[in-house]
Every structure is written in C-alpha cells, then in structure tokens.
Amino acid sequence: MTKPSKTPEAGDLRERALRLLARREHSRAELVRKLGQAGFVQHDIDALLDEFEEKNWLSDRRFAESYVADHRARAGSVKLAYELRQRGVSEAVIEDVLSENHDSEIERAREVWQKKFGTPPTDAAERVRQMRFLQSRGFTPETIRYAIGSTTYGAQSN
C-alpha cells in the first residue's frame, strides 16, 4: 500500500494529532516529528500544537510525568533524563519531574538489583559487575553505592 502523493489537508492534521494523543501522552517534539513525517506543513503543525497546549490537551510536563511513572521501575534518573531529552522535553521540566521522584531512587535501585541478582556480591569482581549493571540502568554512582552497600554490608557500612 503506497501513500497518496497529495499533501494532507488541515482537517487531516487535527484528526491525526488527536488520534496520536488519544493513544498516549506525547511530547510536542514527538508530535512535530510524527506529523511532519506524515507530510503536514510545519507552520500548520506549530499552529495546531499551540492551540492544543492552550487547551491543555498537550503538555510536555504531563508527558514527562507519565513517561517517568511508566519507566521508573526499570531505570534510574540519569537514563530517564536522557530519554526525556531525546523526546524533546526541556531541562527545566525534566529537573522538576525527576526531583519529585528523587526520594525513591535508592529504593528503586535496590529493587532492580534484587530482581537481577538477589544476593550480595561475594568478591570485588562481582561487586563491580553488579555496579556496572545498575549504572547501565541509569542510576548514579552515589545511588548505586547506597543500594549495593546497604544490601551487601547492612549495618556494617557507614
């Protein structure tokens, strides 16, 4: 099935944008990209998305909150921030949303660690391997030290 060669009409733009937003929250940048790839004119896209933002149908903050809620069980703040940046969310919004979830970061790291390993490292090589795993999931070195340190040495660590 090939796409028609004619340029989509403005009514199609509104319908397509609403359909995308009905499925899930999107960042403005995601919608701009998707609608642009569908052949819509940039000026029309910008005007429509401005209207959507005024009506609060489109919100980068709401998108970021939803994204973090969906992905925080598997990823740390570093990875979440990177992924939100890739989706066009501003640094200010990212910082606000992630600071709201900062308190649970160590607990989330412990849960990810527990699910993957379940037992404390037996030697330095194993400890490094476990730390590398948590780092790949986007947890900060400080968070990793607390998460593994508290599970490894319990009351012994300071």
In a domain, 2, yes or no: no
Phi-psi region of 154 (alpha: psi -120 to 50; beta: other; left: phi over 0): left
In a domain, 33, yes or no: yes
In a domain, 86, yes or no: yes
In a domain, 1, yes or no: no
Domain co-membership, 151 together with 109: yes
Confirm if 81 and 94 have CB atoms less than 8 A apart.
Answer: yes
Closest to 80 in 3D by CA, of 61, 64, 60: 64
42: containing domain: 10-54
Domain co-membership, 97 together with 110: no
Q: Is the pLDDT of residue 150 over 70?
A: no
Domain co-membership, 84 together with 111: no
List pLDDT tens digits, range 23-77: 999 999 999 999 999 999 999 999 999 999 999 999 999 999 999 999 988 889 9
Higher-scoring residue by pLDDT: 153, 50: 50
Burial of 33 (0-12, 13-18, 19+ CB in 10 A): middle
In a domain, 4, yes or no: no
DSSP string, 107-137: HHHHHHHHHHT-S--SSHHHHHHHHHHHHHT
Q: How many domains does the chain have?
A: 3
